Amino acid sequence: MTKKQEVEKLVKLIRPYPIQYLYKYRAMDSSTGLQGIFEERKVFLNDAAKFNDPFECRPYLTVDGSSIAQTAFLEELTKDRFPNASRAEIKNLMRGKGAFLRDHGKLRKAYDEFVTTVGIYCLSEKKDDLLMWAHYSDSHRGLCLEFEASTEGSLFWEAFRVVYQDEYPIVNMMRIGEAEEFRKALLTKSTHWAYEQERRVLKMEDEGGAGDYYFPPAALTGVIFGALMSSRDKEIVKNWIKAYPSEIAIYQATLNGHGYQLDVNKIT
């Protein structure tokens, strides 16, 4: 199966669920450039090594395949790690292939190097989750950004749905480029996190990997002020919105008062 066919398979597997908006919970003192979202229309795609969940993108690794397939896999891996090596040098490096395949630590290192080349931007289908406001928006003192995600081909439309499961994922390193293995590696989380209803924008190394990505002004459609956000912080964000080149709706989240829930109402 070609790379294009694998991508199409992955899209059918993970992204067959259209949605109009996706949400990003943020604290005002975020280290990844909240102001830049408004002034430069850019978001930062991090690599999974920076995530707060130590299980994140860390499946159990195996190497399952014929001797010929294993040799081809290791040759490709060696060429990636030593791009300027001669054929003779590669052959010499390959002499220890059996030991490499049996060494889980070396497999882990190779996999970790792969993961750091992938840029990931995490979003949610929900705008009013109590835990997410507490964890990612400075205990309701921050805000939540609303991005339009229904325009085909746009950055946020690309976001894949995360799969939640109880079973720990097992990934065959030799098939990491295939849709199912890719999903298990980068789009699988424990059911403990299911409340997040997460989607992920993924950029592979040949697409730019981790780093800044720009979006058109109209993609940012709304800002939700946290229930405990200070008046000073609201004014800062309102000034960013005034200078923004397209219209942004402003919402206010408030404590419901009758139950453990938030009410989100438009104010401008």
Comparison of pLDDT for 65 and 222, the residue scoring more: 222
Please provide the average confidence, as pLDDT, over all residues in the chain: 85
pTM of the full structure: 0.83
The percent of the chain in helix, strand and coil, each rounded to the nearest 5, is 40, 25, 35
Whole-angstrom Cα distance, residue 242 to residue 139? Answer: 26
Helical axes 3-14 vs 179-186, angle rounded to 10°: 50
pLDDT at 74 over 80: no
**DSSP of 69-105:** HHHHHHHHHHHHH-TT--HHHHHHHGGGHHHHHH-HH
pLDDT computed for residue 174 by the predictor: 73
Lowest mean pLDDT among 36-40, 61-65, 126-130, 147-151: 61-65
pLDDT computed for residue 188 by the predictor: 94
3 state SS of 28:
coil
Question: What tens digit of pLDDT does each residue of 131-142 get?
Answer: 999 999 999 999
Across 176-199, average pLDDT: 90
For 74, half-sphere exposure in the C-beta direction (CA atoms, 13 angstrom radius) is 24
Question: What tens digit of pLDDT does each residue of 14-57 get?
Answer: 665 789 999 999 999 865 689 999 999 999 999 877 777 888 88
